[in-house]
A and B are shown apart, each in its own frame.
Chain A
């Protein structure tokens, strides 16, 4: 019996990759709780590190894993549609504050992308890297769609999302103190707009009002960026 018969048998169906993902996800959450939920180390990063380590140890190529795991990732489509439900539930907030939000959102959401793009461009990053960083403040399911549209690397984008989310959670408290802001609605909105899901989780730790506004900021930034960025990218003709 050849040495590689067992791995081949295990990976004959996608169930191995799916089970592996569940395991890493649940273990990641467990470790996260044991470490008292550190802001700088989100559960998803722990889980991803575990998963990468397991793949490296058992010698399963990433491409093969990813292919089998598409049984899970195909659900991202309906899951993105599902985000319409919390968005609908945010409607009263949108109606109450529509004027400041309508002015703030386009400016802040554009700048969230533009600051990073300008710095990367000045430091000589390639068009493909720029395309991977552009959606850095958008919630993952929407950002993946945007990045595929404009031709970036989804793997790099997801790494960028992690860094951005963690940085946002760390900076918002600091900046709010500096600007003497103690309105939870403003702090929450800034967390969701810049830090997508990771920022929103942080906001719910502050207060339910901050959490609600973070969800709102996250949804609106996602929609605005999804509608504007691919079009702007095409008009400017970045990358080609």
Chain B
């Protein structure tokens, strides 16, 4: 069962992250610490073991489904946020437009220099 073996790796890294958060009080989620540890481990090994790929690939493919129970929650807080929606939508839509333009412009200038050498 290569996938089970890989899944145990993923769970172990998450648990290590949990232990580190517990002892250091870092304001970072255990998942992010586990992810960074996994990246570092793979960089040391220089390849992705087939066991980890067998567990990681399907999990990443199912991410959208894993967040669905949470997404549905937004329909049940619509009333709570009455009167706040205009501010929220303006912030999200105008904020995103501004940040998209900034990212494109900034990276164009920075990569332009790299190209010119």
A210 beta carbon closer than 8 Å to chain B: no
Q: Are B104 and A48 in contact (CB under 8 A)?
A: no
Q: Mark A124-150, 1 if CB is under 8 A from B, else 0.
A: 111001000100110011101110111
A209 beta carbon closer than 8 Å to chain B: no
Q: Mark B88-105, 1 if CB is under 8 A from A, else 0.
A: 111111111111111111
Q: Are A149 and B29 in contact (CB under 8 A)?
A: yes
CB contacts between A and B, total, < 8 Å: 314
Question: Across the interface, which residues of A come within 8 angstroms of B91, CB to CB?
Answer: 116-117, 119-120, 123, 125, 133
Using known A-B contacts A158-B74, A230-B28, determine if residue A111 contacts B99 with beta carbons closer than 8 Å.
yes
B11 beta carbon closer than 8 Å to chain A: yes
Contact of A145 among B31, B36, B53, B81 (CB under 8 A): B31
A175 beta carbon closer than 8 Å to chain B: yes
B19 beta carbon closer than 8 Å to chain A: no
Q: Are A78 and B99 in contact (CB under 8 A)?
A: no
Using known A-B contacts A66-B69, A190-B107, A194-B99, determine if residue A84 contacts B74 with beta carbons closer than 8 Å.
no
Question: Across the interface, which residues of B come within 8 angstroms of A84, CB to CB?
Answer: 13, 34-39, 42, 56
Q: Which residues 204-240 in A have Cβ within 8 Å of B in the complex?
A: 222-223, 226-227, 230-231, 233-234
Contact of B96 among A142, A171, A233 (CB under 8 A): A171
Q: Given the complex of chains A and B, what is the CA–CA distance between A226 and B111 in angstroms?
A: 26
B77 beta carbon closer than 8 Å to chain A: yes
Question: Across the interface, which residues of A come within 8 angstroms of B98, CB to CB?
Answer: 111, 115
Q: Are B92 and A125 in contact (CB under 8 A)?
A: no
Using known A-B contacts A44-B71, A186-B108, determine if residue A79 contacts B62 with beta carbons closer than 8 Å.
yes
Interface SS, B side: helix
Q: Are B32 and A142 in contact (CB under 8 A)?
A: yes
Contact of A164 among B63, B92, B108 (CB under 8 A): B92
Using known A-B contacts A25-B64, A85-B42, determine if residue A146 contacts B111 with beta carbons closer than 8 Å.
no
Question: Across the interface, which residues of A come within 8 angstroms of B72, CB to CB?
Answer: 48, 51-52, 55, 62, 65
Q: Are A167 and B92 in contact (CB under 8 A)?
A: yes
Extra contacts, 16 of them, besides A80-B14, A108-B107, A120-B88 (Cβ < 8 A), are A44-B68, A80-B32, A81-B14, A81-B34, A81-B37, A100-B114, A104-B107, A140-B67, A142-B31, A144-B70, A149-B29, A158-B74, A162-B74, A163-B89, A186-B104, A230-B27
Residues of B within 8 A of A (CB): 7, 10-11, 13-14, 17, 27-32, 34-39, 42-43, 48, 52-53, 55-57, 59-60, 62-77, 81, 84, 86-108, 110-111, 113-114
